[in-house]
Amino acid sequence: EVQLVESGGGLVQPGGSLRLSCVASGFTFNDHYIDWVRQAPGKGLEWVGRSRNKANTYSTDYAASVKGRFTISRDDSEKSLYLQMNSLTTEDSAVYYCARGYCDKSGYVGLDSWGQGTLVTVSS
Amino acid sequence: QSVLTQPPSASGTPGQRVTMSCSGSGSNIRSNYVYWFQQLPGMVPKLLIYKNNQRPSGVPDRFSDSKSGTSASLAISGLRSEDEADYYCAAWDDSLSAVVFGGGTKLTVL
C-alpha cells in the first residue's frame, strides 16, 4: 500500500525556519516525483514545489511565492523528502501535503497519492 | 488570485448532470494536460481525472473532462449526494515552470 507520512509541522515565529519531512512506503521511491502542496485554513490548494525522479536527475521546481526561501531535498536511502522552509511569514501558514507524482513508462501521470498533511502555523 | 480560474460554487440535484469550468491560458491549459482533484469535506485531495479524461482506478465514469483551447471542464453525470465536495483543476505552466491550481469550485448537491 502506498503511504506518505508528513511530519515536522508546528508553531514558528515570523522570520523563523522549519523543516518538514515526508516518509514514503509501498513503492519504489526514486521512480516517482514528489510534490509539496499546501492549503491555508479554509482556502484552496497551492502548489509549493516538486522533486522529480531519478530518471529526471531529481530536478526541482518551486512556486514563485517560495522560491529562494524553500528548498526541497530527498534521501532515497531513507525514502524521504524534505522541505526546508526559511524566512517564514504568516502567509506560509497552512497544512502542507506531500503527494506522489506517479510516473509510468510514458512519463508523469499525476499526483495520485497524498499524505495526511502537517500543519505549519507562523505567528508571533 | 489563482492562475487558473474556477467558479467558486456550483450546484445540482441528485441525478442531474453538472459541469464546472477551469479557465487558463496558452502556457498552461492549452499546452499541457489538465488534472482534476476532488476534496471531500475534511479529507485529503484525491486525483479524479488525469491526462485527457483518464480516471484512476475506483473513480466512476460519471466523472469526465474536456478541454478546448485555454479552458477545461469537469462534468459529473448522475449526481449523487456523496459528490458534494471541492473540485480543483491544475496544470503545468510552461512560463512559470510551476504547477498552477484553480481556486476551486464548491459543489453543493441540493
- The pLDDT tens digits for B66-78 are 999 999 999 999 9
DSSP string, A33-64: EEEEEEE-TTS-EEEEEEE--GGGTT-EEE-T
Helix, strand, coil distribution of chain A in percent, nearest 5:
10, 55, 35
- The pLDDT tens digits for A11-50 are 999 999 999 999 999 999 999 999 999 999 999 999 999 9
- Burial class of B101 by CB neighbour count within 10 A (0 to 12, 13 to 18, 19+): buried
Q: Is the pLDDT of residue B1 over 90?
A: no
Mean pLDDT for the stretch of residues B32-47: 97
Contact flag A62-B98 (C-beta cutoff 8 Å): yes
Q: Is the pLDDT of residue B52 over 90?
A: no
The pLDDT > 70 percentage for chain A reads: 100
Nearest to B2 among A44, A97, A115 (CB): A44
Mean pLDDT for the stretch of residues A71-99: 97
The DSSP secondary-structure symbol of B4 reads B
Q: Is the pLDDT of residue B46 over 90?
A: yes
Paired sense of beta strands B105-109 and B9-12, if any: parallel
Contact flag A45-B88 (C-beta cutoff 8 Å): yes
Q: In A, residues 38-57, which contact B (CB 8 Å cutoff)?
A: 44-47, 50
Q: What is the pLDDT of residue B97?
A: 97
Contact flag B50-A97 (C-beta cutoff 8 Å): no
